[in-house]
Amino acid sequence: MLKKLLFAVAMVVFATAMNAQTVIWEENFDAGTTFPAGWSQQTNASDGGWKIGTNAVLSSSSFPIPNNSSGNIVATNDDACNCNKANDILITPTLDLTAYADSTLFLTYDMFYAKLSYQGIIEGLEIVASVNGGAWTSLKEMRGRTFWVRPSGVDVSAYAGMAEVRFGFKYTDNNGWLYGAAIDNVKLVIADNVVKTNVSGVGISRYLDVVPTYFDYAKFWTGGEMFITGTVSNSGFVPVTSFDLEISNGTNTTTETITVDLPFDEFYEFQVPYTVEAGMNEVVAKALNINGLGDDDDPTDNEDMASVEGVTPVEGRKVVGEEATGTWCQWCPRGAVMMDFMTAEYPNFIGVAVHNGDPMVVGAYDAAVSAQVGGYPGGLMDRAFGDVDPIEFEDYFINRMAQEPVVSINQNVDWDDATRTVTVSSYFKFLQEMNGDFRVAVVFTEDGVTGTAANYAQKNAYSGGGAGPMGGYENLPATIPASQMVYDHVARAIVGGFGGAANSAPPTNPEGTVFSYENTYVVPNAYDVTSMHAITMLINNATGEILNAEQTDVPNVFVGTNNVNDMVSVKMFPNPVVDEATIKLRLAEASDIQVRIVDAFGKVVVDRNYANVSGEQYLPFRVGTLPMGTYMLTVTAKGQSVTKPFVIAR
What CATH number is given to the structural domain containing 602? 2.60.40.3080
* 202 in the same domain as 186: no
Q: Are residues 490 and 581 in the same domain?
A: no
- Average pLDDT on 123-145 reads 96
What number is the average pLDDT over the span 424-435? 93
Residue 562 lies in a domain: no
Q: What is the pLDDT of residue 20?
A: 61
Nearby residues of 297 by Cβ (< 8 Å), 6 or more positions away? 194, 195, 196
The pLDDT assigned to 3 comes to 25
Helix 393-401, helix 333-345: angle, nearest 10: 30
**What CATH number should be reported for the domain holding residue 307?**
2.60.40.10
- How far is Cα of residue 585 from the mean position of the Cα atoms in its chain? 49
Confidence of residue 351 (pLDDT cuts 50, 70, 90): very high
Tell me the one-letter amino acid at 221.
W
Looking at 311, 334, 359, the residue that finishes a domain is 311
Report whether pLDDT(455) > 90: yes
Both 447 and 418 in one domain: the answer is yes
Q: Are residues 248 and 342 in the same domain?
A: no
Give the rounded percent of residues in the chain with a pLDDT score beyond 90: 78
565 or 473, which is more confident: 473
Q: What share of the chain is helix, strand, coil (3-state, %, to 5)?
A: 10, 45, 40
Q: Which of 12-26, 223-237, 455-469, 606-620 has the lowest mean pLDDT?
A: 12-26
Cα angle: 212, vertex 149, 213; to 5 degrees: 5
| Lowest mean pLDDT segment, chosen from 77-86, 242-251, 577-586 | 577-586
Mean pLDDT of 553-574: 69
Residue 193 has pLDDT above 50, yes or no: yes
pLDDT at 565: 52
Looking at the structure, tell me whether residues 94 and 139 fall in a common domain: yes
Average pLDDT over residues 446-454: 96
Q: Can you tell me the mean pLDDT for 180-207?
A: 95
pLDDT digits (tens, 9 = 90+) for 592-636: 999 989 887 778 899 999 999 999 999 999 999 999 988 888 888
520 and 375 in a common domain: yes
520 pairs with which residues across the strands? 423
pLDDT tens digit string along 499-551? 999 988 988 899 988 888 888 999 999 999 999 999 999 999 999 999 999 99
Of residues 373 and 145, the one with the higher pLDDT is 373
Residues 459 and 579 in one domain: no
Q: What is the mean pLDDT of residues 348-368?
A: 98
Q: At residue 8, does pLDDT exceed 80? A: no
Residue 299 domain flag? yes
Task: Read off the pLDDT of residues 58-69 as tens digits, 9 standing for 90 and up.
Answer: 999 999 999 987
Instruction: Provide the number of structural domains found in the chain.
Output: 4
Q: What is the mean pLDDT of the chain?
A: 91
Q: How confident is the model at residue 557, as a pLDDT?
A: 62
**pLDDT of amino acid 11:** 32
Residue at 631 is within a domain: yes
User: pLDDT tens-digit profile of 269-299?
Assistant: 999 999 999 999 999 999 999 999 998 888 8
Asked whether residue 267 is domain-assigned, the answer is yes
Q: Are 324 and 428 within one domain?
A: yes
Of 263, 295, 311, the last residue of a domain is: 311
Residues 492 and 538 in one domain: yes
pLDDT at 558: 52
Asked whether the predicted pLDDT for residue 49 surpasses 70, the reply is yes
Query: What's the rounded Cα separation, in Å, for the pair 254 and 305?
Result: 15
| 2 in a structural domain | no
Residue 13 has pLDDT above 70, yes or no: no
Q: 134, 161, 190 — which closes off a domain?
A: 190
411: domain range? Answer: 319-553
Mean of the pLDDT values across residues 53-61?
96
Its pTM stands at: 0.76
Asked if residue 201 and residue 186 are part of one domain, the reply reads no
- In this structure, the strands spanning 51-53 and 117-118 are unpaired
Looking at residue 497, its pLDDT comes to 96
Residues 341 and 266 in one domain: no
Q: What is the mean pLDDT of residues 558-563?
A: 49
In angstroms, rounded to a whole number, what is the distance separating the alpha carbons of residues 86 and 46? Answer: 12
Q: If 0-12 CB within 10 Å is exposed, 13-18 middle and 19+ buried, where does residue 182 land? A: buried
Nearest to 501 by CA among 488, 520, 527, 476: 520
DSSP 8-state secondary structure symbol assigned to residue 577: B
User: Quick one: pLDDT at residue 468?
Assistant: 85
In a domain, 563, yes or no: no
Residue 397 has pLDDT above 70, yes or no: yes
Res 15 pLDDT > 50: no
Segment 356-384 mean pLDDT: 97
Higher-confidence residue of 630 and 639: namely 630
Residues 366 and 306 placed together within one structural domain of the fold:
no
User: What pLDDT, on the 0 to 100 scale, is given for residue 242?
Assistant: 98
The answer as to whether 1 is a domain residue is no
The mean pLDDT value for 552-575 works out to: 71
CA distance linking residue 84 with residue 96, whole number of Å: 33
What's the pLDDT band for 637 if we cut at 50, 70, 90? Answer: confident
Q: Does the pLDDT value for residue 95 go beyond 50?
A: yes
In a domain, 294, yes or no: yes
CA distances 544 to 381, 510, 515, 541, Å, are 11, 21, 20, 5
- Average the pLDDT over 170-177 and give the result: 96
